[in-house]
Amino acid sequence: MTTDTLKIADKTFKSRLFTGTGKFSSANTMREAIIASKSELVTVALKRVDLENKSDDMLVHLNQEHINLLPNTSGVRTAKEAIFASELAREALQTNWIKLEIHPDPKYLLPDPIETLKAAEELVKLGFVVMPYIHADPVLCKRLEDVGVPCVMPLGAPIGSNKGIKTLEFLEIIIEQSNVPVIVDAGIGAPSHAAFAMELGADAVLVNTAIAVSQNPIDMAIAFKMAIEAGRMAYNSKLAPIKNQAEASSPLTSFLNDLN
Amino acid sequence: MSFKHTFETYNWDALEKEIYEVTAQDVENVLLKEKIELEDFKTLISPAAKPYIEQMAQRSNAITKKRFGNTIQMYIPMYLSNECQNICTYCGFSMDNGIRRKTLSDAEILKEVEYIKKLGYDHILLVTGEANKTVGVPYIKHAIDLIRSQFSNISIEVQPLDQEDYETLISAGLYAVLVYQETYHKATYKTHHPKGRKSNFDYRLDTPDRLGKAGIHKIGLGALFGLEDWRVDSFYTALHLKYLQKTYWKTKYSISFPRLRPHLGGLDPKVEMTDTDLVQLICAYRLLDEDVELSLSTRESETFRNHCIHLGITSMSAESKTNPGGYSVEPESLEQFEISDERNTEQIKQMIQSQGYEVVWKDWSKSYVAVH
């Protein structure tokens, strides 16, 4: 069995499952599920934590050596707000990693591509490792790459929807064209969705709702871990080609054998 | 353009007739649909849908969990003043009620805040009556300035204001405004609000438009149940919600469910809304809209609140005092209305946790507002 690691900026990850901290029934359940998932990158909404308080419940529960915190800017509506929030996070959490989420629409939480590109460019200049949450837009991915982001995070379906990989056609183009890791960020509702994303060649997936809201978040976290490992291994082993039609029993070109 | 134009294309009596003529078959058809629309909302709040309440509750529970997770957001109201120049037939602060009037001073506000912070709250709702000379925009802005450093999230429930006033308050750190139409029945509205600026139905009706234009983060809507038929009033509220979501798409919305509670000089509800009715309504809102916040105050009873956590409710208050200074300054002064669930914050927290939900104190960062 071969395993390969994922490198983003200065960090190397053994796990290709990134997780979130929202929607859990308690901080303890969140902690146990995240530990069980073996995830090494965990995103946390700045608006949910008290940056001035070292004993903030969520931060205390995530204080594990192997867990890297990835603050996110959920709640901001503009590039300006995102930059301000990122600087606060960098200072308070001692990390220059930021998950850039700018969704001015509070209903479907769909990312604003224009503000995201603007903010990404500025944040890269300010020395941040920027992980942008975006639509599955191949052109936007290339534009973000140009301004120096170390990865892109296109959505599979609207965030929290659990609908799976609805943006398949565009994700395939993004994966084909990208020079930076592609992390499928939203919409993954089942381990099979995650395995599918990995088989397509995604470098990692981020899962939160599907784990947090399940009846047994710890087992579900393990199920996702296994699915992602399976998907990655299948991708590396090259899937056998899909045959769209059966081989004809009366071939049309066999007469050529007689002629040659 | 404003909501008034949309509002005027509907007729109260026609809506009432439609809602009361819904059949069981209509309800079953709607419940088979994946996407519930505004027209379907009429069906779900109809008397015919009452036997389907369990089915609605199960669906509401699942949708709410998916969108909001296993969490309940906590907030607390803080009454700043009971001065009021309006006559509202159902309200304890009505101008014609001979109660002692009180507006909190800076020191009193800070004393109340100190008490509230000890309870753990980080989202606060400031409430006043309507007394423009003493409790106008400058007073409200000053109160926000005074407490801003201590709360992540500040909302107000005060008289309707002009767009520029909202802009002033938003740049001072205001996050949300709650403004209930009370009733969308224009004639009944006039009866219950005979005097004062509140008697202007149209100005109140277009308040959420002014808030949307000012760029507020969240608008809270609702009708006061008891004044009119709750079904028709709720349809109008849902219509208002859908209009606002399309027009001011960057704003979040919440719905509250105030039912008339006893108070001094009180009014008996014209139309009673039972607990079953209220559950039906909560579920209908959730089926109509996956994302709208649904809030339940201490007006409701212990048992009712314990169960509503599973039915679609996403935020709650606890230990509320509805009199200015009620927490620490003047605990004995007259309340706007009596609350029903009198458990303290710790008890509510434990009740929520024991049902497998996490209590969320903080879900906003004031730094997002500080940028402008």
CATH of the domain at A200: 3.20.20.70
Asked about A99 being catalytic, the answer comes back as yes
pLDDT at B372 over 60: no
Partners of A17 in the beta sheet? A205
Tell me the pLDDT of chain B averaged across its residues. 94
For the segment A136-158, what is each residue's pLDDT rounded down to a tens digit? 999 999 999 999 999 999 999 99
- Band (pLDDT 50/70/90 cuts) for residue B70 is very high
Q: Residue type at B28? A: E
pLDDT at A1 over 70: no
Query: In this structure, is residue A208 part of a structural domain?
Result: yes
List the CATH number of the domain containing B104. Answer: 3.20.20.70
Asked whether the beta carbons of residue B70 and residue A50 sit closer than 8 angstroms, the reply is no
Query: In this structure, is residue A141 part of a structural domain?
Result: yes
Asked whether the beta carbons of residue B291 and residue A46 sit closer than 8 angstroms, the reply is no
Domain count, chain A: 1
Q: Given this model, what pLDDT does residue A252 score?
A: 79
- Which domain covers residue A107, as residue numbers? 6-259
Query: In this structure, is residue A241 part of a structural domain?
Result: yes
pLDDT at B5 over 60: yes
Asked whether the beta carbons of residue A77 and residue B250 sit closer than 8 angstroms, the reply is yes
In order of A132, B179, B216, the CA distances from B171 in angstroms are 28, 19, 10
Q: Given this model, what pLDDT does residue B334 score?
A: 76
pLDDT at A243 over 80: no
Domain count, chain B: 1
- Could you say which of A27, A46, A105 has the minimum Cβ distance to residue B250? A105
Q: Given this model, what pLDDT does residue A166 score?
A: 96
Q: Which of A11, A54, A80, A99 is catalytic?
A: A99
Query: In this structure, is residue A1 part of a structural domain?
Result: no
- Could you say which of B70, B245, B365 has the minimum Cβ distance to residue A75? B365
pLDDT at A111 over 60: yes
Q: Provide the whole-model pTM.
A: 0.89
* Residue B371 touches chain A, beta carbons under 8 Å: yes
Secondary structure of chain A in HEC code, one letter for each residue: CCCCCEEECCEEECCCEEEECCCCCCHHHHHHHHHHHCCCEEEEEHHHCCCCCCCCHHHHHCCCCCCEEEEECCCCCCHHHHHHHHHHHHHHHCCCEEEECCCCCCCCCCCCHHHHHHHHHHHHHCCCEEEEEECCCHHHHHHHHHHCCCCEEECCCCCCCCCCCCCHHHHHHHHHHCCCCEEECCCCCCHHHHHHHHHHCCCEEEECHHHHCCCCHHHHHHHHHHHHHHHHHHHHCCCCCCCCCCCCCCCCCCHHHHHC
Tell me the pLDDT of chain A averaged across its residues. 92
Asked whether the beta carbons of residue B367 and residue A84 sit closer than 8 angstroms, the reply is yes
Q: Residue A199 has which token pair? A: 């088989």
Query: In this structure, is residue A189 part of a structural domain?
Result: yes
Q: Which site among A44, A56, A57, A107 would you substitute to test the B interface, given the most B Cβ atoms closer than 10 Å to its Cβ?
A: A107
For the segment A49-105, what is each residue's pLDDT rounded down to a tens digit? 888 777 788 888 888 889 999 999 999 999 999 999 999 999 988 999 999 999 999
Asked whether the beta carbons of residue B69 and residue A209 sit closer than 8 angstroms, the reply is yes
Query: In this structure, is residue A119 part of a structural domain?
Result: yes
- Which domain covers residue B313, as residue numbers? 3-370
Q: Given this model, what pLDDT does residue B263 score?
A: 63
Q: Which residues of A touch B356 (CB under 8 A)?
A: 25-26
For the segment B243-281, what is each residue's pLDDT rounded down to a tens digit? 999 999 999 999 999 998 766 656 778 888 999 999 999
* Residue B367 touches chain A, beta carbons under 8 Å: yes
